[in-house]
Structure 1
Amino acid sequence: MRLLFWVALLFGGAVGLALFTQFNQSNVVLFYPPYRVELSLNLALALLLLVFFVLWTLFSAARHLSEMPRRAAAYRERKRMSGAQAALREAIENLFAGRFARAERAAREAQAWPAQAQTAALIGARAAHRMQESERRDKWMEQVTDPEREQARLVSMAELLVDARDAEGALETIAQLQAQGGRQIHVQRIALRAHQHLKNWSEVLRLARALEKRNALHPVLALRLKQMACEAMLEERRQDAEALQDFWRTLSADERRAVRIAEPAARYFAALGKQDEARKIVEEALKVNWDARLVQRYAECAAPGQALPLIQQAEKWLVQHPADADLYYTLGVLCLGEQLWGKAQSNFERALKYADTAQQVRLRVRSHLALGRLFEETDRLEEAQRHYRESAMLAA
């Protein structure tokens, strides 16, 4: 439609110009004494247009000639910028592809454009780090001086230091970052790894809890880290009942019920004479996680002469787990402590009956030893010797 409009306008102008020149009989007279020049108006207008076109062409050519140096410089700058951008893309692709030497070379080429020189330095630092060139990595990082890129430099440096097992250096870098207000999830992950290397278990536990709340850690990994931290912190307090109790109160219900936390906690409480606390720990944990380690630990939760409530509880569990060899062994140990010889013998024998897997050889050894001690206490020496021999053969 637009083309049709312009074609119509062009033809209309041509028709108007033809009519104007056909009926125009005017003349133009120019006096320049002693000369006199007489022209038709049509020719005069045509000459004026021609002069205007020639002058416009001359001025345009002069302007373009004067701008040629600037345009040449702009062209060279655009070419250098385009080459630097291509080199930066190549450096990133090579870094992700594992071609670290090529990535570092491309990063140097990308620095030809000053606007991206420091970004290229960050890529070069990562490439040098992957090749275990720590000095070259640090030289790359020294080139990043722009305040706007300070956070990127610190985060990258902390991550690279943790990867190089320099946990203290990583934490110092993170301290600088946090002094500037940096509290990103990624920084907390880096700090978690650093504290894990340094075995700062209280910080590992705190960070694992914080990251788990923000869904920044896989639940399985978060649980594993919390278990490791709690196991270590429980072991540090195993000789101090008050400190052990205070730490236990700080744990959440889910943490207390985890097998790898509840089992050592019950062991340490029982060793310190806190059998009631140990019993509560095991019973609460077994409500959620039925585990052989907790079941066997239950036998240590009875104070001398006070095992009857634990025996009653174990017999209730037998209703739900009638073929659990570990539970029969634990019940036999509790009965043995109360000198219930017949009941202890039957439970140990049932433990041997149900402990029929390759993973339960150790339980069979312990059951034979327990029966040997039982028969020795009741003056049945031949049977005691038979069970001792069985345990020795299994252990061998």
Structure 2
Amino acid sequence: MRLLFWVAVLFGGAVGLALFTQFNHSNVVLFYPPYRVELSLNLALALLLLVFFVVWTVLSTVRHLSEMPRRAAAYRERSRMNKAQAALRESIENLFAGRFARAERAAREAQSWEAQAQTAALVGARAAHRMQEIERRDAWMAQVTDPEREQARLVSMAELLVDARDADGALETIAQLQAQGGRQIHVQRIALRAHQHLKNWSEVLRLARSLEKRNALHPVLALRLKQMACEAMLEERRHDAEALSAFWRTLSADERRAARIAEPAARYFAALGRQDEARRIIEDALKVNWDSRLVLRYPDCARAGQALPQIQQAEKWLNEHPADADLYYALGVLCLGEQLWGKAQSSFERALKYADRNHQGRLRVRTHLALARLFEETERPEEAQRHYRESAMLAA
């Protein structure tokens, strides 16, 4: 449609010009004494148009000739820029492909364009780090001096230091970053790894909780890290009942009910003579998560001669878990402590009946030893010797 419009305009202009020249009988007279030049108006207009075209052509030629050095310089700059950008792309691709030597060479070529020289230095530093070239890595990083790239330099350096197991250096770098107001989730992940290397379990627990709340850690990984931290912090306080209680109160309900946390906590409380707290920990955890480690720890929560409440609770659990060998063993230990010989013997025998021969070999050994001690207490040495032999054979 646009082409048709301009064709119509062109033809219209041609028709108008033809009519103008056909009916135009005017003359142009130029006086320059003693000369006199007389021209038709049409010829005068044609000559003016020709002169304008010639002058315009000459001026354009002069302008283009004067701009040639600048254009040549711009062309060379564009060529250098395109080559540098191609080298940077190649460097990044080689870095991701694991060709670190090529990545470093390409990063050096990419520095030929000043605008991306420091970005290429960050790529070169990562490539050198992957090749365990620490001095070259630091030399690359030293080239990053632009304030706008300071955050990228600090985050990259912290990540590389953690990867090299220099946790102190990584945390020092993160401190510089946070002093500038940086609080990224990725930085928290790096800090989490650094504190994990240094076994700063309180910080590991804090960061794992924070990252889990932001959905920045897989739930399974977050749970595992929290369990590791809690286990270590419980062990640090295992000789101080007050410190142990104070730390236990800081844990969330989900953390308290995790088997890997509840079991050592109950063990330490029981060892410090706080059997009631140990019992509450295990009973609360078993309501949510039935776990053999907690069940086997349950007899340690009973005070000597005061195990009847635990026995009654174990019998209630048997209604829900009638074929649980660990629970029968725990019930037998509780009954053995209360000298309920018949009930203890039947519980141990059922534990042997339901115990998996392949996966619960240790439980069978412990059950035979418990039966042997029971028969010794009830003066049945022959049966005790038989169970001692059974336990020895299973242990072997």
Shift of 1:46: 1.6
Structure 2: distance between partners of 1:243 and 1:59: 92
- Is 1:232 the counterpart of 2:228? The answer is no
Q: Which residue of 2 aligns with 1:212?
A: 212
Question: Which position in structure 2 is the counterpart of 1:178?
Answer: 178
Counterpart position of 1:251:
251
Q: Residues of 2 paired with 1:158 and 1:140: CA distance?
A: 15
Residue 31 of structure 1 and its aligned partner are, at CA, apart by 2.9
Confirm or deny that 1:263 pairs with 2:226.
Answer: no
Worse-superposed segment, 168-177 or 124-133 = 124-133
Partner of 1:31: helix, strand, or coil?
strand
2:18 corresponding residue in structure 1: 18
| Residue 163 in structure 1 maps to residue 163 in structure 2 | yes
Give distance in 2, aligned partners of 1:30 and 1:315.
131
- The farther-off stretch of 133-142 and 80-89 is 80-89
* Deviation by residue 1:127-172 (Cα, 9 ceiling, x = unmatched): 1111111111111111111111111110010001000100000000
- Which 5+ residue runs of structure 2 have no aligned equivalent? none
1:194-209 equivalent positions in 2, closer than 5 A: 194-209=194-209
* 1:392 pairs with 2:395: no
Q: Tell me the SS of whatever aligns to 2:360.
A: helix
Determine if the alignment matches structure 1 residue 36 to structure 2 residue 21.
no
- C-alpha displacement at 1:339, in angstroms? 0.8
**Of 19-28 and 160-169, the range deviating more from structure 2:** 19-28
| 1:351-372: CA deviation from partner (whole Å, max 9, x where unpaired) | 1111133111111111111111
User: Once the 2 structures are TM-superposed, how far is the Cα of residue 18 of structure 1 from its aligned partner?
Assistant: 2.1
Alpha-carbon offset, residue 280 of structure 1: 0.6
Look up the match of 2:327.
327
In the alignment, the residues of structure 2 paired with residue 20 and residue 343 of structure 1 have an alpha-carbon distance, to the nearest angstrom, of: 129
TM-score (norm 2): 0.98
Q: Which amino acid aligns with 1:18?
A: A
Q: Which whole-Å CA distance do the structure 1 matches of 2:314 and 2:4 have between them?
A: 99
* 2:64 corresponds to: 64
Aligned-residue offset at 1:248: 0.6
Task: Note the C-alpha offset of 1:293.
Answer: 0.8
Residue 26 of structure 1 and its aligned partner are, at CA, apart by 2.7
**Letter paired with 2:81:** M
State the identity %.
88
Q: Describe how 1:1-396 pairs up with structure 2 within 5 A.
A: 1-396=1-396
- Other structure's SS at 1:70 match: helix
Q: CA deviation at 1:311?
A: 0.5
Instruction: Give secondary structure in 1 for the equivalent of 2:50.
Output: helix
Q: Which digits, 9 at most, give the CA deviation of each residue in 1:186-209, with x for residues without a partner? A: 100000000000000000000001
- What is the identity, as a one-letter code, of the residue corresponding to 2:204? V
* Residues 30-87 of structure 1 deviation map (CA, whole Å, 9 limit, x = unaligned): 3333333332222222222211111111111111111111111111111111111111
Deviations along 1:199-222, one digit per CA (max 9) or x if unpaired, are: 000000000011111111111000
Secondary structure at 2:359 match in 1: helix
Cα separation, 1, equivalents of 2:121 and 2:322? 67
**Letter in structure 1 aligned against 2:56:** W
What secondary structure sits across from 2:43 in the alignment? helix
Residue 5 of structure 1: how far off its partner (Å)? 2.4
Q: Distance in 2 between matches of 1:144 and 1:333?
A: 67
**Total equivalences in the alignment:** 396
Deviations 1:246-299 (A, max 9, x none): 111111111010000000111111111111111111111111111111111001
Counterpart CA distance in 1 for 2:145 and 2:368 is 72
- CA distance in structure 1 between the aligned counterparts of 2:188 and 2:134, rounded to whole angstroms: 24
For the residue of structure 2 that corresponds to 1:359, the secondary structure is: coil
1:9 shift after superposition:
2.1
Deviation at 1:176, TM superposition (A): 0.4
What amino acid is aligned across from residue 81 of structure 1 in structure 2? M
Which one is further off, 187-196 or 97-106? 97-106
Where do 5+ consecutive residues of structure 1 fail to align? Answer: none
Report the AA paired with residue 321 of structure 2: H
Cα RMSD, aligned residues only: 1.1
Paired with 2:335 and 2:41, the residues of 1 have a C-alpha distance of: 135
What one-letter code is carried by the residue in structure 2 that aligns with 1:236? E
User: C-alpha displacement at 1:27, in angstroms?
Assistant: 2.7
1:273 partner amino acid:
G
Q: 1:356 to 1:33 in 2, by over 3 A?
A: closer
Q: Deviations over 1:286-315 (max 9, x none)?
A: 111111111110011111110111111111
TM-score, reference length from structure 1: 0.98
Question: Residues 301-352 of structure 1: CA distance to partner in whole angstroms, max 9, x if unpaired?
Answer: 1111101111111111111111111111111111111111111111111111
Mapped partners of 1:25, 1:319: distance in 2: 125
After superposition, give the CA deviation of every residue in 1:174-195 in whole Å (9 maximum; x if it has no partner).
Answer: 0000111111111000000000
How many angstroms apart in 2 are the aligned matches of 1:37 and 1:326? Answer: 128
Q: How many Å separate the matches in 2 of 1:246 and 1:163?
A: 35
AA paired with 1:41?
A: L
